Structure 1
């Protein structure tokens, strides 16, 4: 019987947890378990707002009501529905639609509700999340130690919360969605009930893989024209050796490779069960998107210039952290990773997110300065994190709505997941935005086009040019790459020819390559989070993609 479980956060290093299983042998458990939802279920939620005069009723349902909340209807809606579930929405001028976000855990899912009579309705599907795709749900049990089994739930790059174990029964919450899993581990089969807010919504059955699974066996070649603004090139590119090396595991963890030239897609393939509709956690590659949002805010005169001081819009409660050096930190210093904050220790992302007991903002702002602002470039996610806080405090609408209205909507991007900081309110500018590879490619094309998409100027040309300038060098990086506003500069040597690329980069191998001299944008996504192969995407671009483009 599915019961409600309160959310006691139990973040686990490297997305794993240990559980002892004395009743089942090691041989029974170790290996990969795969499965899918039973046929009668899916992971979709229906959202309805019913108008009753000045009052309204919000319903979150899946074949039955899961959450029902009465509220006073207004043009701006903010509802706390459960410990980890929120809804926020803005009604458009003619009251025909509500653009909003469902908040689950610390993630925001965009949703559009359309009006029919006295009802606004919409649907939120989680099938775009790879680890919850019915074709790919899996559990990997890889090691045994004195304390039990090391388990990667669903997909190893995600966390679980509120893990509990008693003999062969386990329960946990899926980090991106807050879905609750309760089930039993048995030698040949695992059966999980899936719920939300204590209500059962689906069943998952996993079975032990008896044969060794090739990591990149499944290849999807997308030839279907999708109405997302992209055109397919008539001159398709072929990369047979790369595909062979992926399937043989000579190249590991590759999940998607896309290439566009002259504004048209000429190569698009997905691997390891990913497809054209699956969102991918971009990790730190989304720092470049954070830079774009700051540029748009400057274009809109919300921020006067990159020379504005950080502490001019830091909340009053944290002004006590300002000292003579911190008072000098500007927007430009943050955009170029040269704030001078101690980003390797007290302002290190792993510390303020996982080790400190204080709020993230308090931890970062109390961290000491180790350099004069603007004198030393030291990569650290605290810099974009502070930019998100800064912009949030300048806006008269929530930051996620501003991002959707000014960037995602004009680009036709609707299938994404935005993560927040520890408040659960402010989008986290340090990384982790989930996008489809096509939409990552679209963002790169926007920059190659100097801020335009489909004839619309979304970001000013001047901001694109300023962002792509070589403002500094990453002094703590081995290659000491030149760096713009959260954009890397890198030069490749291919057959004696020098090719310059401007790149957004994220852990695990998430890359957006912009190559102006070739009129090329490329995206490579991968799942190399724990194997030291993050930079394999650079090698793929150098050894396979660029040689093919130069022929």
Structure 2
């Protein structure tokens, strides 16, 4: 009788766990708490650089990665520390720092490692890009569960993190796993009757673990906001604007900065954002792509903007050349006038270029080149991301080092910018179509570079000739209702302030990311926002015209 009871108990227990593996039973919202607000603030070290005992380490409260480091040629340091993760960097000429990139997911995180004792270089990397977390809350939405099938999407209580793009949903008995395509973070969960034990990993290396229970209440995301953050006590007062933001008249405004004659005169952050949080610039970073092209031209890495794109492409793509697309040159890519029908558009007041025509493919370049030609190059401009994508491919073919190191050495180091991230294409190369992350202060620096004709700290970073060529008005963007004139990946617009017309040269990105350069007023304005889905992507133009310009031009 006793053995029968034991067997019955074991049968029931086995049946429970077998049934528990049906993902329909886990389809729900789950939540837990992370251990510390600095769990993703990872310390990166290179120890004993140049010796046989050189090592590369990543750690938080415990060691995550610890492997030997191998040096490449010309002081370039390269290591792969996990599958699909890597670090590459370059030792400065004075030996005091290493500037490089951690490749994780589709992002290249720039990292600056400073020298300390014993040839050890150290710095900080945060895969979430937001520094110290302002909320320890963590949420997991398990969706569409049936048998072994499911989808799972993690959310952080700190909504300054721009979110995950999860894929590769796997299940093996009581273990689920999936990965974030964007950051490269991996998630492995143990399914238990009343909870999920979830680990967050770099490859096979554990960063942190969280116990999740089913959510009973609504999630609290981004509710840490208490006040406007004033980082710079500038002389400009914009009380009316701040009142409007506080009353949600300008929703999802994250920062507003104004610089005049090289000095920041207004700097405010909202929704928990601070000066040290790099912001997703989306297509506003197309203008940075233009700057990199100018630097390459200044170094005579290519001879003319009239060169055909096929001058820069590998042999395997030459078969896609014909009489018309052979006329696609660097200038047509810079001015959005290649004539290729390679982008989709959401045709609102300002269209947002969609890369869905080529990004789902295994070979973006082949897909773009095979798109139909709807116009002769350099005749009609239509806004899209395929043009700067091709520009990036061309530039990658002519620099002697990894393109990201070239960008860092000749632009970002010159501007004293180190806290930034570059999005990559399907081959892991910098994607010139958009998606870089810069802090608003660094956006101001970049705008000031164009205001000052290519100079920064008394150094000519980009030639004045290229700056002048960049800000000319070439062709109007025909697929934009306002038909804005367009330069070398720079927008033109005109505003009215105090009964006068004011001209602006602008970098623009979806969701409301703007750099306004106003030469007549010697002003640069940076505005960042999070209006990704509500149609208010041009809200910064209203803020600029109605709430900033009147106080500058009086």
TM value normalised by structure 1: 0.83
Q: How many Å separate the matches in 2 of 1:145 and 1:58?
A: 41
Look up the match of 1:472: 475
Aligned partners of 1:286 and 1:432 also within 8 Å = yes
Residues 1:71 and 1:299: Cα distance change in structure 2 (over 3 Å): closer
Query: In the TM superposition, what are the counterparts of 1:28-67 in structure 2 within 5 Å?
Result: 29=29, 37-38=35-36, 41-50=39-48, 53=51, 56-62=54-60, 63-67=62-66
SS for the counterpart of 1:513 is strand
For 1:183-222, what per-residue CA distance to the aligned partner results, in whole angstroms no more than 9, with x for missing partners? 5899x99975322122222246898776988889543433
Look up the match of 1:14: none
Post-superposition offset of 1:428 = 0.7
Aligned residues: 515
Look up the match of 1:195: 201
Please tell me whether residue 383 in structure 1 is matched to residue 381 in structure 2. Answer: no
User: 521, 525, 545: which is aligned to 2:524?
Assistant: 521
Residues 1:117 and 1:247: Cα distance change in structure 2 (over 3 Å): closer
Please tell me whether residue 462 in structure 1 is matched to residue 470 in structure 2. Answer: no
SS for the counterpart of 1:353 is coil
Aligned partners of 2:254 and 2:528 also within 8 Å = yes
Look up the match of 2:89: 89
Look up the match of 1:221: 229
Please tell me whether residue 367 in structure 1 is matched to residue 371 in structure 2. Answer: yes
Q: How many Å separate the matches in 1 of 2:27 and 2:310?
A: 58
SS for the counterpart of 2:120 is strand
Q: How many Å separate the matches in 1 of 2:511 and 2:250?
A: 13
Look up the match of 1:336: 335
Aligned partners of 2:37 and 2:132 also within 8 Å = no
Look up the match of 2:494: 491
Post-superposition offset of 1:508 = 0.6
Residues 1:34 and 1:369: Cα distance change in structure 2 (over 3 Å): farther
Could you tell me which runs of 5 or more consecutive residues in structure 1 were left unpaired when the two chains were aligned: 1-19, 225-231
Please tell me whether residue 173 in structure 1 is matched to residue 172 in structure 2. Answer: no
Aligned partners of 2:187 and 2:199 also within 8 Å = yes
Look up the match of 1:161: 166
Aligned partners of 1:85 and 1:104 also within 8 Å = yes
Post-superposition offset of 1:71 = 3.4
SS for the counterpart of 2:387 is helix
Q: How many Å separate the matches in 2 of 1:169 and 1:220?
A: 43
Give RMSD over aligned pairs: 3.5
Aligned partners of 2:389 and 2:431 also within 8 Å = yes
Post-superposition offset of 1:283 = 0.4
Please tell me whether residue 265 in structure 1 is matched to residue 270 in structure 2. Answer: no
Aligned partners of 1:37 and 1:205 also within 8 Å = no
User: 421, 425, 429: which is aligned to 1:421?
Assistant: 425
Residues 1:201 and 1:341: Cα distance change in structure 2 (over 3 Å): same
Look up the match of 2:105: 105
Look up the match of 1:506: 509
Q: How many Å separate the matches in 2 of 1:122 and 1:433?
A: 24
Q: How many Å separate the matches in 1 of 2:275 and 2:465?
A: 32
Aligned partners of 2:23 and 2:145 also within 8 Å = no
Could you tell me which runs of 5 or more consecutive residues in structure 2 were left unpaired when the two chains were aligned: 1-21, 346-352
Deviates more, 1:203-212 or 1:509-518: 203-212
Q: How many Å separate the matches in 2 of 1:73 and 1:143?
A: 44
Aligned partners of 2:38 and 2:132 also within 8 Å = no
Deviates more, 1:443-452 or 1:48-57: 48-57
SS for the counterpart of 2:359 is helix
Q: How many Å separate the matches in 2 of 1:312 and 1:88?
A: 28
Query: In the TM superposition, what are the counterparts of 1:208-247 in structure 2 within 5 Å?
Result: 217-223=225-231, 233=234, 236-247=235-246
Aligned partners of 2:257 and 2:526 also within 8 Å = yes
For 1:118-149, what per-residue CA distance to the aligned partner results, in whole angstroms no more than 9, with x for missing partners? 5432223218723x741056668999999999
Aligned partners of 1:338 and 1:377 also within 8 Å = yes
Aligned partners of 2:341 and 2:372 also within 8 Å = yes
SS for the counterpart of 1:246 is helix
TM value normalised by structure 2: 0.82
